[in-house]
Amino acid sequence: MSKRRVKRSFFQRILGSPATQEPAAANCWNYENGQLFIDLQRAPELQISGGALRLEGGSLPLRILVVNSEDGEYRAYHNRCTHIGHRRLDPVPGTNTVQCCSLNHSTFGCHGETIDGPARRSIQSFPVEKDQEKLIISIASFSGK
Ligand code: FES
């Protein structure tokens, strides 16, 4: 089976430029007491199957990647590859995996487990609950790795 890769140029990979963008509407999310709330009506990026957003900065204590996986599940990950460069991640189209945006393409399964590449440790995934048009992501379990 051939390995799937997120389509990025050599220079984008050298620079660590992920395909996944920050939300167009900065007010689509807020963070409070270990929970990240996302208003899906303000986040069209997450309304399409395979869509994703990266959330970072502000009051959020760590970078988060949120994916509307192609199997219909919403998933959230610590958006930090465990390999030495600690680059950001992108969902790999046609799979339920996420992949480092660097040249080394470390790839992680839907639960954050390592699948391919030089990263030796899994990435942390976080529970996602959907309540009507809102996602609630609990990052209180963050282990700090
Ligand atoms: S930083 Fe992710 S593979 Fe090197």
Task: Please choose from 65, 83, 97 the residue to mutate so as to test ligand 1's pocket, defined by most ligand atoms within 8 A of CB.
Answer: 83
Q: Which of 3, 12, 81, 116 for a ligand 1 pocket mutation test, highest count of atoms within 8 Å of Cβ?
A: 81
DSSP 64-80: EEEEE-TTS-EEEEES-
| Amino acid 143: pLDDT | 74
Could you state, in order of their start, the residue ranges of all structural domains in the chain?
A: 10-138
User: According to the model, what pLDDT value does residue 3 have?
Assistant: 81
Nearest by Cα to 124 from 66, 68, 76: 76
Topology of domain 10-138 in CATH is Rieske Iron-sulfur Protein (2.102.10)
> What residue owns the CA closest to ligand 1's atom 1?
85
pLDDT at 141: 76
The DSSP code sequence of the chain is: -PPP-----HHHHHHT--SPPPPSSGGGEEEETTEEEEEGGG-GGGTSTT-EEEE-STT-SS-EEEEE-TTS-EEEEES--SSTT---EEEPTTSS-EEESSTT--EE-TTS-EEESS--SPPPEE-EEEETTEEEEE-TT----
**Number of C-beta neighbours around residue 19 at 10 A:** 18
pLDDT at residue 145, as a whole number: 62
pLDDT, residue 140, reads 85
Q: How far is the CA of 89 from the centre of ligand 1 (A)?
A: 9
Mutate to test the pocket of ligand 1, among 100, 107, 122, 123 (most ligand atoms within 8 A of CB): 100
What's the 109 CA to ligand 1 centre distance in angstroms?
15
* Torsions phi, psi for 13 (to 5 deg): -75, -40
Q: What is the pLDDT of residue 134?
A: 97
Say what the pLDDT of residue 96 is: 92
Residue 102, pLDDT score: 95
pLDDT < 50 stretches in the chain: 1
**Model's pTM, two decimal places?**
0.94
User: For residue 90, what pLDDT is reported?
Assistant: 98
